[in-house]
Amino acid sequence: MTSRIVVITGALGGIGLASIEVFTKNHDIVIGIDIKAQDDSLVMETKQKYDSFHYYQTDCTLEEQVKVTIEKIVSDFGKIDVLFNIIGGSGRRFGDGPIHTVSLEAYQKTIELNLTSQFLVSKYAVIQMLKQNSGNIINTGSVLGMVGGNEMFSTVTYAASKAAIIGLSRSMAMAYAKNNIRVNVISPGLIETNMTQRAQSNEDIFAYIDEKQPIYHGRHKLGNPMSIALAARFLADSDADFVTGINLPVDGGWTAQ
């Protein structure tokens, strides 16, 4: 049996690295896409650690770069079986926050990082998947695209981008079901990665999370990136071939309340 080609964006982040581990263990060929340079120490370390890992530096917010990278992957590997589109992040550094404080520029940059990026990679992956008449896309939302948070989690543009990803993915799921392309979303709760460093050093956030993610009640613990990677492995598997158009929260109970 030939190995699946699994493309992961935002591959060098916390959820990405856990996913590289899970999919390489699953005997897939894993293609990582991230903005980090080819000679970045994390890129070199990850290539060394996993024989079946390949890396393509790309800024996923730029259409031409995404197009060239996807076309290069197809010319190098012949197909794309799975896209796990993780790329995204907090817009706080651009100025995302409660709406009365958000500049148009902060809004646009946050949308680019979270929504435009997943839109562009999905678009070029689908162009290839239509030629194959098969494919599997998992986009990444967030609990904050489903429910509002308190003032510590009030970033309106991020919330809007993540809600949009759910809509984008459902629409894609319906458009391409007859082409044998499945599209689903995973919406993580608060997960221990670089993105949540702010939260990891803030006891008020931990107290809030103790209520929001009650499955770890009293354990002073955020979600593990591996939980997200394993959910993606399930959605990417042929065992899930009847699952399309869903938004799967992996959130310790956050959105059940």
Residues marked active site are found at 158
> Which member of 195, 230, 243, 246 binds ligand NAD (CB under 6 A)?
195
For residue 243, the minimal CB distance to ligand NAD (Å) is 20
> Which member of 5, 6, 14, 244 binds ligand NAD (CB under 6 A)?
14
**Residue nearest to ligand NAD according to CB distances in the complex:** 13
Q: Does 227 bind ligand NAD (CB under 6 A)?
A: no
Cα–chain center distance at 78: 23
Q: For residues 25 and 154, what is the distance between their CA atoms, to the nearest angstrom?
A: 37
Q: Does 40 bind ligand NAD (CB under 6 A)?
A: no
> Which member of 60, 115, 121, 160 binds ligand NAD (CB under 6 A)?
60
For residue 54, the minimal CB distance to ligand NAD (Å) is 16
- Segment interacting with ligand NAD (CB under 6 A) among 33-41, 45-53, 101-109, 205-213: 33-41
For residue 242, the minimal CB distance to ligand NAD (Å) is 26
Q: Which is nearer to ligand NAD, 20 or 87 (CB)?
A: 87
For residue 27, the minimal CB distance to ligand NAD (Å) is 23
How many CB atoms are located within 10 Å of the residue 149 CB? Answer: 16
- Segment interacting with ligand NAD (CB under 6 A) among 56-64, 125-133, 175-183, 200-208: 56-64
Q: Does 135 bind ligand NAD (CB under 6 A)?
A: no
Q: Which is nearer to ligand NAD, 60 or 231 (CB)?
A: 60
Residue with tokens 């308190």: 150
Largest CA distance in the chain: 55
For residue 220, the minimal CB distance to ligand NAD (Å) is 16
For residue 65, the minimal CB distance to ligand NAD (Å) is 8
Number of residues located near ligand NAD, criterion CB under 6 A: 27
- Segment interacting with ligand NAD (CB under 6 A) among 20-28, 55-63, 93-101, 229-237: 55-63
SS3 of the chain: the string is CCCCEEEEECCCCHHHHHHHHHHHHCCCEEEEEECCCCCCHHHHHHHHHCCCEEEEECCCCCHHHHHHHHHHHHHHHCCCCEEEECCCCCCHHHCCCCHHHCCHHHHHHHHHHHHHHHHHHHHHHHHHHHHHCCEEEEEECCHHHCCCCCHHHCCHHHHHHHHHHHHHHHHHHHHHHHHCEEEEEEEECCECCHHHHHHHCCHHHHHHHHHHCHHHCCCCCCECHHHHHHHHHHHHCHHHCCCCCCEEEECCCHHHC
User: Which tokens belong to 132?
Assistant: 């194959």
Residues that bind ligand NAD (CB under 6 A): 10, 12-16, 34-36, 58-61, 86-89, 117, 140, 142, 188, 190-191, 193-196
